Amino acid sequence: TNIFQGRSFLKEADFTADEFYTLIKLAEHLKDLKARNIEHHYMTGKNIALLFEKTSTRTRSSFTVGANDLGAHVEFLGAHDIQFGKKESLIDTAKVLGSMYDGIEYRGFDQSIVESLAQYSHVPVWNGLTTSWHPTQMLADFMTIDELFGHIRGVKLAYLGDARNNVANSLLIAGSMLGVEIHLVAPKSLQPEESIVKIARQYSNSFMITDDLDQGVEGADVLYTDIWASMGEEDLWGKRIKLLQPYQLNAQAVAKTHNPNTIVLHDLPAFHDLKTSMAQDVFEKFGIKEMEITDEVFNAPYAHQFQQAANRMHTIKAVMAASLGNLFIPQAMSQP
């Protein structure tokens, strides 16, 4: 038996803390196998659909490389390549894909889409980011924390910026589940919705949501930020820049932790070091040079966002292998 077999990965709260931790440990194991060049074809003969209604670098590559390493095949179905979203309903699409593929990844907008895909396809569906949640990101983030600190429980993580987006929602829930003290530091209008806070309360009473930067980052072991305008919100740059400039992850914010060992994480993509016309327009129009994270912090030795990005692959591989692979996982491990 395998406790994850056949299960979808739609949001953090569908899993127990022990199950979530077990997936992180499985990812660490798979990373070790890959580093030692040991074959791990747990998914030979499986076919995976990758549905992307939004763009992606890390998530798409993680599913593709991870599936290849596991011996499975993937097919990329971009927003403009398939009938869904134009001439075919979600339910019909789900039924058809479920009859051909063994598993489906979905990245896009409403959480209800990924939930319906799972309901009507009858195969495991993995959430590669929706407007509400980014659960595969969480496995990579807490795996990176486990690697850097040697443990997860008891770590204090302060997230600065748009605390009403998918990444902030997921950090609050996954962190609270795993015994991490989560501080969301954001202006009032960009703090999480009450429905999200309610879920977090089921796991923890030690999280903090504040607009006070000094109080929010004091003692933090991890400072974390994300882009100020998420995919699909690009018309909000002006508003966001105005609201979020005081919450930039810069050297002053790092100093305010009063913790000499603070590390920095960013899920990426980061809005920095950009020569694209979109970026030039935004920087010029609003007369600023840096956004959610300064180059100084991004390039500092205490910033570990590329280790974090690399761990996306190992963790996504763990999710696929656990739900579809020929693996023996009789019970969940408890976190020490």
**Could you tell me how many residues of this chain bind ligand CP (CB under 6 A)?**
9
174 binds ligand CP (CB under 6 A): no
Residue nearest to ligand NVA (CB): 230
User: How many whole angstroms separate alpha carbon 287 and alpha carbon 285?
Assistant: 6
Pair type for strands 222-225 and 156-160: parallel
Q: Is 97 helix (H, G, I), strand (E, B) or coil?
A: helix
Of the candidate residues 157, 158, 186, 227, the single one contacting ligand NVA (CB under 6 A): 227
User: How many whole angstroms separate alpha carbon 270 and alpha carbon 305?
Assistant: 10
* 136 belongs to an annotated ligand binding site: yes
Q: Is 257 helix (H, G, I), strand (E, B) or coil?
A: coil
Task: Give the list of residues 6+ apart from residue 274 with CB closer than 8 angstroms, or none.
Answer: 280, 283
* 144 belongs to an annotated ligand binding site: no
> Cis before residue 246, ω within 30 degrees of 0?
no
Distance in Å, CB of 179 to ligand CP, minimum = 24
User: How many whole angstroms separate alpha carbon 61 and alpha carbon 91?
Assistant: 27
166 binds ligand NVA (CB under 6 A): yes
Distance in Å, CB of 267 to ligand CP, minimum = 4
- Count the alpha carbons within 13 Å of 55 in the hemisphere toward its beta carbon: 6
What x-and-dash track marks residues 133-162 binding ligand CP by CB under 6 A? ----x-------------------------
* 56 belongs to an annotated ligand binding site: yes
The interface partner of residue 57, options being ligand CP, ligand NVA, none and the CB cut-off 5 to 8 Å by kind, is: ligand CP
Residue closer to ligand CP (CB basis): 62 or 335? 62
20, amino acid identity: F
Distance in Å, CB of 27 to ligand NVA, minimum = 18
* 47 belongs to an annotated ligand binding site: no
Of the candidate residues 231, 316, 320, 329, the single one contacting ligand NVA (CB under 6 A): 231
Supply the DSSP string of 187-223, one letter for each residue: -GGGSPPHHHHHHHHTT-S--EEES-HHHHHTT-SEE
Residue closer to ligand CP (CB basis): 11 or 256? 11
User: How many whole angstroms separate alpha carbon 314 and alpha carbon 309?
Assistant: 10
Q: Is the distance from CB of 159 to CB of 168 less than 8 angstroms?
A: yes
113 binds ligand NVA (CB under 6 A): no
* Biggest CA-to-CA distance, the chain: 58
What x-and-dash track marks residues 253-282 binding ligand NVA by CB under 6 A? --------------x---------------
The interface partner of residue 334, options being ligand NVA, ligand CP, none and the CB cut-off 5 to 8 Å by kind, is: none
Strand partners, 145: none
* 278 belongs to an annotated ligand binding site: no
Place of tokens 């440990």: 25
* 230 belongs to an annotated ligand binding site: yes
129 binds ligand CP (CB under 6 A): yes
Q: Is the distance from CB of 165 to CB of 7 less than 8 angstroms?
A: no
Distance in Å, CB of 224 to ligand CP, minimum = 12
Task: Give the binding site for ligand CP (CB under 6 A).
Answer: 56-59, 129, 137, 267-269
Binding-site members are 56-59, 83, 107, 134-137, 166, 226, 230-231, 312
Binding-site members for carbamoyl phosphate are 56-59, 83, 107, 134-137, 312
